[in-house]
Structure 1
Amino acid sequence: MRIVLSFRTMFRPFIVFLGLILLTSGVALAEWKAADPLPSWNNGQTKQAIRAFVKKVADRGSTDYVPPAERIAVFDNDGTLWAEQPLYFQGLFALDRVKALAPQHPEWKERQPFKTVLENDLTALAAGGEKGLVELLMATHAGMTTTEFEAIVTDWLATARHPRFRRPYTELAYQPMRELLAYLRANGFKTYIVSGGGIEFMRPWVEKVYGIPPEQVVGSSIETKLELRDSKPVLVRLPEVDFIDDRAGKPVGIHKFIGRRPIAAFGNSDGDLQMLQWTAGGEGARLMALIHHTHAEREWAYDRESSVGRLDQALDEAKTRGWMVVDMKWDWKRVFPFSE
């Protein structure tokens, strides 16, 4: 017994020391794994600039400190938070709705732009311009209550698959941007979507996909009116445009629905230019960024000549004014959650 006690006494310091090494090694490893809030971003100038901006506006000791209430970051959706090719996903939703409603409208077989949709002639549809697309949206997005429309969108997202990736559209949200949203919120930012897409098309799913609640979505909208149906109040969607949240409409929408000028704005096209200009026009530290689609293998490569998400004037202004341009090929390790 004495020998055993003597042995334990002799080696107790070593055992304690070994335990501390193992414990602290585990803690250090866990801290190392958790230290990078943007693991899908390559380590480079862009990632460093984002982290440096967040640090200086969130650090109370910084001369660029911004109170949490003023840490507003706005994001375009199509092409910025999720993909937008070969057509804006809400447009693909509208095409599917035309085909679903076609049996109730036999006249659509000979009436444009519905005829081109039923014949799957997307080239002719694009050539028809904005007027035809608006007509499609009014025919497929109106005439039901807001609750009914939400159910239609939810069902479509659950069953529809992207023509290239054969996955649900919500899986085509960009993993690096999801990490960025979480990183900003962890540092006291309030994140908003400011998109040309329909506000009621986005609200049913953005919280689950991006962590952004529906009340923090600014988008285009159609007119609605209150009706009593079976003695219950409902909001009915009308075939009339209420607000277009694109180009010069984005700063208007930010002012109307958010009430504060953002200190950070992220877009990907000329439709986002005025939002970035509005953000840049404020006082103090600012971050303006464009997502540049440059990886045809993992996603798509397009900018100045694209009919969807055209990036031309905004790209020139970004270079002139020193705004951040995120190169998807070089700045992102992966694009989608399912990507390697």
Structure 2
Amino acid sequence: MLLARKIAYWLLWPLLAIVLAPVSLAAEDPLPSWRDGPGKAAIVEFVARVTRQDSAGYVEPHERIATFDNDGTLWSEQPLYFQAYYALDRIRDMAADHPEWKEREPYRSALAGDVKGLAAQGKGPVVEMLVAAHANVTTEAFTRSVAHWLATARHPRTGRLFTEMVYQPMLELLEYLRANDFKVFIVSGGGIDFIRVFSHERYGVPPEQVVGTTGGARFELRDGIPVVVKTGDISLIDDKAGKPVGIWRHIGRRPIFAAGNSDGDLQMLQYTTVARNEDDTTPRLGLIVHHTDGEREFEYDRESAVGRLDRALDMAPEQGWLVVDMKRDWRRVFPVAGS
């Protein structure tokens, strides 16, 4: 009887392996929040192509650099950049010392709580307000202030903590790339010091791998304690043409993968994907998150004052950039609340 059972086991095991294989593969899906389709397939094919040593497109691990925009790419950005909401609260706290702000934009809209009016000012005035809200404070005090705000402030439409409005599919993509020996960087128009407060905990990206708009700073001794103080000038606006500059300054390598969602990411996508010459055959992938889901998130592109996607959307087919349709390609947008 025992011998018969052993023979049956060895005869049936190959069949069981075939039957169970699809279940095993499904359980190992690295991108479960992505719907099966051309977008997901393109990502998986690209990663396989650059990581298989027998592939003609194999890329050494130290050259596997991936860059991700933050606002609108890793977390939401509507109806206003989340860092601007932080700045709004700071401006209100500081307003008593600046009576002139009542008559000067963008501060007038900020103090009135006019989000639409503030968004209509464009990125330049908003950046000015961000600088004013972030200046003349030590880096330690700024970090504490942002951490407290992120732990308590909630999005005006969803009621979620802002850090709960990260995109689950992109969290999976970050982890998938890291599991395949990519070094992942955030390259954002948002403030470098602001993003560094939460990037490691929320994205798994340590602060030294964050590139962002960078303000001035100075060293001081305060009561014998060495501190760095944030000043009111800007040394790098990490947006549009500033993104390749920021990548070169902070990373020193050209990425082979870049993800964005707006025309502010256009030059980063070009810098990453456009071949230098006919000998430049390294596989490269540019990805654009297209906000098409007004029910689960927000629907916007060409006419939006925040996260405008126009030129990059037109150029995507010619450049071979992957346009991810949020409504079509993502099973889930946000993580489970509280996770």
Cα displacement (A) at 1:229: 0.8
Alignment partner for residue 29 of structure 2, among 36, 56, 62?
Answer: 36
Alignment of 1:85-124 (within 5 A): 85-106=78-99, 108-124=101-117
What is residue 310 of structure 1 aligned with on the other side? 308
Q: Indicate whether 1:207 and 2:205 are aligned.
A: no
**CA distance in 1 between partners of 2:18 and 2:56 (Å):** 36
**Alpha-carbon RMSD:** 2.5
| Separation of aligned partners in 2, 1:19 and 1:57 | 38
Describe the SS at the equivalent of 2:137: coil
Distance 1:277 1:253 in 2: 14
Partners of 2:111 and 2:19 in 1: CA distance: 60
Q: What displacement does 1:116 show?
A: 2.3
Other structure's SS at 1:311 match? coil
Letter in 2 for 1:214: P
Alignment of 1:163-178 (within 5 A): 163-178=156-171
Is 1:299–2:297 an aligned residue pair? yes
Q: Distance in 1 between matches of 2:75 and 2:10?
A: 50
In the comparison of the two structures, how many residue pairs are matched? 331
Q: Which deviates further from its counterpart, 318-327 or 129-138?
A: 129-138
SS at match of 1:329: helix
Percent identity (aligned): 56
| Amino acid in the other structure paired with 2:250 | F
- TM-aligned CA distance change 1:173 to 1:97, over 3 Å: same
CA distance in 1, matches of 2:92, 2:173: 37
**8 Å CA contact 2:80, 2:115 repeated in 1:** no
1:123-272 equivalences under 5 Å are: 123-272=116-265
User: Which residue identity lines up with residue 247 of structure 2 in the other structure?
Assistant: I
Unaligned runs of 5+ in 2: none
Q: Identify which of 315, 319, 322 aligns with 1:321.
A: 319
**SS at 2:227's partner residue?**
strand
- TM-score normalised over the length of structure 1: 0.90
Pair 1:330-2:328 in alignment:
yes
Q: C-alpha deviations, 1:240-299, integer Å up to 9, x for none?
A: 111101100111111111011000110100000000000113431010111100010111
* Bigger Rg, structure 1 or 2: 1
Task: Output one character per residue of 1:64-105: Cα deviation in whole Å (capped at 9) or x when no partner.
Answer: 000000000110000001110000101111111112333454
Shift of 1:136: 1.6
SS for the counterpart of 2:301 is coil
Distance 1:116 1:333, change over 3 A: same
Which runs of 5 or more structure 1 residues have no equivalent in the other structure? 1-7
Displacement after TM superposition at 1:139 (Å): 2.0
Residue 284 of structure 2: aligned partner? 286
Amino acid at match of 2:158: F
